[in-house]
Amino acid sequence: MKFLDEAKVYIRSGDGGAGAVSFRREKFIEFGGPDGGDGGRGGDVWVEAVNGLNTLIDFRYQQHFKAKTGTHGMGRNRTGAKGSDVTLKVPVGTQIFEEDNETLIVDMVAEGQRYRLAAGGNGGFGNAHFKSSTNQAPNWANPGLEGEEKTIWLRLKLIADAGLVGLPNAGKSTFLAACTRARPKIANYPFTTLHPNLGVATVDGQEFIIADIPGLIEGAHEGVGIGDRFLGHVERTRVLLHLVSAQEEDVAKAYKTVKHELEAYGGGLEDKPQIVALSQIDVLDDEELKAKSKALAKACGSPPLLLSAVTNRGMTEALRALRDVISAAKAGEEQA
């Protein structure tokens, strides 16, 4: 399945049905009077967050959504039926923006959440509505009101507990594949990962979701490389695992490059709890490992975790560190 995290959509709610002009005509009834019914209300446009979706790919093939017009009123005081609604089904974590792509309409953060994007037009009154003691035979009715129309943007931000960040080839996809059942593409060249991947990790009987995004390079916030387009997918995470490859000549520089890009992007990423790990340590001997670990500790201000997804060294410790931060964050949210 293709990954698509942004889509532009046109929506239009249904027009209201027109009221009817009708007079009662029955044998042996001399004064029938008006009996035109009201028009039905137009259909609404809704958005609903559903389980089982993790991409907006469906909106690449359909960008126009129109609700049905309400049924017109009829004689014998029959009110028209309401027009059928239309519902946009989106993944949990989708944000809906106005046409300017900046004004947030709604953030769909819970499964089953529904929101009305456009209300249908009211139906028009039939001529029976206008009869009175001084106007006993009105011969007019109201047309239905027009529905709303607008263009909106859908932007998906995956909901995960932990996010993996780092330079290309830092071992993020290998880490995800080693601790979850996700199967991201892994190869020995930069930008193997072209779109975010999700996996469910389990440690000591507890589960949490990890998001892996494409690697960042210097200037990503200005669009260099794949750019910072996918950083929105780790905005909702409670903790970041910053992987620095042991194959880097200057691990301190590698750490600072990604740190700078996170700060330049904003979105609260610079304030998130961050666990730093030296990955791919199976390629180093003890002396090199000690030197690079010391250099990275000096750059980040604390001793980094030492990881090797290939030999499984340090993986459990890393997962437990992530779990502890996630559990503490959840506990704080519940108390608030």
Identical topology for domains 6-156 and 162-334: no
- Residue 171 among known ligand-binding residues: yes
Label residue 1 by pLDDT band (50, 70, 90).
very low
- Residue 106 among known ligand-binding residues: no
H-helix or E-strand spanning residue 58: helix 58-61
Q: Which pLDDT tens digit goes with each residue over 308-326? A: 988 899 999 999 999 999 9
Q: Which pLDDT tens digit goes with each residue over 136-194? A: 889 999 999 999 999 999 999 888 899 999 988 888 889 999 998 877 666 665 556 66
- Residue 194 among known ligand-binding residues: yes
pLDDT at residue 223, as a whole number: 61
C-alpha pair distances (Å), 83 with each of 47, 51, 70, 114, 150 = 17, 27, 4, 19, 19
- Residue 170 among known ligand-binding residues: yes
- Residue 280 among known ligand-binding residues: yes
- Residue 83 among known ligand-binding residues: no
298 pLDDT above the threshold of 70: yes
Q: CA-CA distance, 267 to 276, in Å (whole number)?
A: 20
For residues 78-101, give the mean pLDDT.
95
- Residue 324 among known ligand-binding residues: no
| Domain spans in the chain, listed from the N-terminal domain onward | 6-156, 162-334
- Fold (CATH) for 162-334: Rossmann fold (3.40.50)
Label residue 68 by pLDDT band (50, 70, 90).
very high
H-helix or E-strand spanning residue 211: strand 206-212
Q: Is 45 within 8 Å of 139 (Cβ atoms)? A: no
> Percent of the chain at pLDDT above 90?
59
- Residue 316 among known ligand-binding residues: no
Q: What is the mean pLDDT of the chain?
A: 89
Q: Is 198 within 8 Å of 158 (Cβ atoms)? A: yes
The C-alpha R_g of the chain, in whole angstroms, comes to: 29
- Residue 166 among known ligand-binding residues: yes
- Residue 310 among known ligand-binding residues: yes
Q: What's the whole-model pTM score? A: 0.80
Q: CA-CA distance, 77 to 127, in Å (whole number)?
A: 9
Quote the crossing angle between the two packed helices 172-179 and 315-335, to the nearest 10°.
80
- Residue 15 among known ligand-binding residues: no
Select from 1.10.10.10, 3.40.50.10470, 3.90.1150.10, 2.70.210.12 the CATH code of 6-156: 2.70.210.12
DSSP conformation class of 87: E
- Residue 281 among known ligand-binding residues: yes
- Residue 64 among known ligand-binding residues: no
pLDDT at residue 293, as a whole number: 93
For 116, how many CA atoms within 13 A lie in the half-sphere containing its CB?
A: 11
Q: CA-CA distance, 251 to 53, in Å (whole number)?
A: 38
Higher pLDDT, residue 183 or 71: 71
Structure-derived torsion over alpha carbons of residues 234, 154, 84, 79, reported in degrees to the nearest 10: 110
- Residue 215 among known ligand-binding residues: yes
